[in-house]
């Protein structure tokens, strides 16, 4: 992977600064097409609603009606998810928990988009304007589930999907049921991560490609975080009577339990790291949410 493709910073502390060139192009694309859009659908990862929220979007979408979707709700902690729903409610924004893969909650989206622009459409109708489709833009960071959501909204496999960021490319107009049209854009991240906790959360959920990270250190950071917020689930998944005194000790214990030992009787940290990350990402570690509204600085 060449330096021209990715501009990132990685060191022993796993500091992350990642901003591929296509992200800037997407931001410019959004600016250029925003005037065509009636309502913005902001798709967040319900496990990291704050970290998966691109701060640039607030500026770009200023003045536009918005519907917030909390995706992957099936593998997030329900009590913490309700806190996020209430957090947005206090701001006058309806947040809808969904599972884009299974389609749970997706049927509510069309109605909520129509409600968000009802006043505008009624005003146009009163002026004698011909009824037209409501134009929607879905925005979100990479790997948050936008392509899966569009496929459910259209009822067909209209966009390419994959469990890795960067699959959706270019601009696509997609017709939806209920007289809606959708402008899809690739996921975008912001130019730099000033908060490394945010960067780590994005990396944990694979919004940042594993290929440009040290996955062993990343998994260690995840283990350290889970030891604080979800120690019981971590111990239960790996059948540990107790956790280690440190993250690396717990990681060693997980490796030994799973038999991830090399021919030289050394711990296979790469295999251990990959397993822990994948099992968190697929929900096998349990329903886990990494942040709550109280964490917002």
Decide: residue 50, CB within 10 A, 0-12 exposed, 13-18 middle, 19+ buried. Answer: buried
Is 74 known as a binding-site position? yes
187 is in an annotated binding site: yes
Q: How far apart are CA 202 and CA 226, in angstroms?
A: 15
By DSSP bridging, strand 66-71 and strand 39-45 are parallel
**89 assigned to a ligand binding site:** no
**Closest residue by Cα to residue 71 from 153, 157, 190, 156:** 153
Tell me if 148 is assigned to a ligand binding site. Answer: yes
147 has binding-site annotation: yes
The response to whether 146 counts as a known ligand-binding position is yes
Question: Is 140:187 a contact under the CB 8 Å cutoff?
Answer: yes
Structure tokens at 235: 């111990």
145 annotated as a binding-site residue: yes
The DSSP-derived string for 34-60 is GGG-SEEEEEEETTSTTTTS-HHHHHH
Tokens of 66: 């918005």
Does 72 show up as a binding residue in the annotation? yes
List binding-site positions.
71-74, 143-148, 187
List binding-site positions for GTP.
71-74, 143-148, 187
């Amino acid at each position: 992977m060449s330096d021209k493709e990715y501009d990132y910073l990685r060191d022993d502390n796993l500091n992350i600064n990642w901003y591929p060139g296509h992200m800037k192009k997407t931001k410019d694309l959004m600016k250029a097409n925003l005037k065509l859009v009636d309502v913005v659908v902001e798709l967040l990862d319900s496990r990291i609603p704050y970290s998966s929220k691109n701060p640039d979007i607030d500026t770009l979408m200023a003045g536009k009606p918005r519907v917030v979707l909390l995706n992957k709700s099936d593998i997030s902690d329900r009590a913490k998810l309700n806190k996020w729903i209430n957090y947005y409610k206090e701001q006058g924004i309806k947040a809808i928990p969904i599972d884009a893969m299974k389609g749970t909650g997706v049927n509510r989206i069309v109605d909520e988009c129509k409600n968000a622009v009802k006043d505008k459409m009624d005003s146009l109708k009163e002026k004698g304007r011909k009824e037209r489709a409501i134009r929607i833009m879905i925005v979100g960071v990479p790997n948050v589930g936008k392509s899966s959501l569009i496929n459910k909204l259209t009822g067909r496999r209209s966009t390419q999907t994959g469990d890795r960021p960067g699959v959706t490319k270019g601009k696509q107009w997609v017709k939806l049921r209920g007289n809606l049209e959708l402008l899809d854009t690739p996921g975008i991240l912001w130019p730099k991560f000033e908060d490394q906790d945010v960067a780590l959360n994005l990396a944990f959920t694979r919004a940042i490609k594993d290929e440009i990270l040290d996955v062993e250190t990343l998994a260690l950071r995840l283990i350290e975080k889970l030891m604080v917020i979800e120690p019981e689930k971590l111990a239960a998944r790996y059948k540990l009577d107790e956790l280690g005194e440190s993250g690396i000790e717990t990681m060693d214990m997980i490796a030994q339990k799973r038999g991830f030992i090399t021919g030289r009787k050394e711990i296979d940290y790469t295999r251990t790291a990959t397993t822990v990350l994948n099992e968190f990402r697929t929900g096998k570690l349990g329903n886990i949410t990494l942040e709550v509204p109280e964490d917002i600085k």
